[in-house]
Every structure is written in C-alpha cells, then in structure tokens.
Amino acid sequence: MRLFALVTDSEGKVEAILLDYIENAKSLRDVEKLTSDQFHRWVDEMGQAISCLHSMGLVWGDAKAANVLIRGNDTVVLIDFGGGHTDGWVERKNSETIQGDWKGFDKISLFLRERVSETSS
C-alpha cells in the first residue's frame, strides 16, 4: 500500500487518507471463494496494516469486509477511515477504537474462513 498523506482534524482523528489509485480492485465483501493461501495472506496483510495504523496512533474506525479491497495483484487495501459504524461487524460501543478494529478484524477473518475452498483459483 502506498500512503501519500493523512488529513487529520484538531483532535488527531483521520478525516481523509490519500492513497494511490487501485485499478481493478474488488471488495472483500464480494469474494465468494478463496484458497487457503489467499486466506492466510490476506489475514496477515490486514493484521499488519491495522498494526501499522495503531502504531501511528490511528484507528481504522469501520472495520468490515466491504472496507477491504483486493488489488489486481491479489493484495489487500483497507479503505473508509475516520468513522462510521455497521451493525454486525463491530459493537457500537467499540466503533472507532483500537479494540473495535481488532474485533472487526476477527469478524472479517471468520467471514473469509467460511469462503475458503482449496479448489478455487
């Protein structure tokens, strides 16, 4: 992921993130089948990205499958920072928190695990 800049408010909350253009990306929400290798790689990449955000004092804020894109080269990109809440992914009390990011990560991981098929390509 190439991060060009973050725009923050006076409290340090991310209001915008500037990334490179993601050509031919698809939403993780739309993935019906994936291999075990893809599952492990994508979960690892998401975990690394979330850890990186947290190490900079930032929070993803709306962790859900629809907010993860898969690039044409089969790597993940987190999108939609700075707020929001979607029932079923993160409890409202944990939205926009580090704990909420990790709870959402766990739900996304379960969502993906249910779609693993060794015969998919």
Residues 114, 91, 5, 27: is their CA dihedral positive or negative?
positive
Average of per-residue pLDDT values in the chain: 87
What is 42-72 written as a DSSP string?
Answer: HHHHHHHHHHHHHHTT------SGGGEEE-T
Distance, CA of 64 to CA of 106 (rounded, Å): 10
Retrieve residue 90's tokens: 């993160």
Percent of the chain with pLDDT over 70: 91
pLDDT digits (tens, 9 = 90+) for 41-87: 999 999 999 999 999 888 998 899 999 999 989 999 998 876 677 88
d(CA 56, CA 76): 19
Q: How many CB atoms lie within 10 A of CB 121?
A: 7
Rounded to two decimals, the pTM is: 0.81
Structural domains in the chain, CATH included, are 23-113 (1.10.510.10)
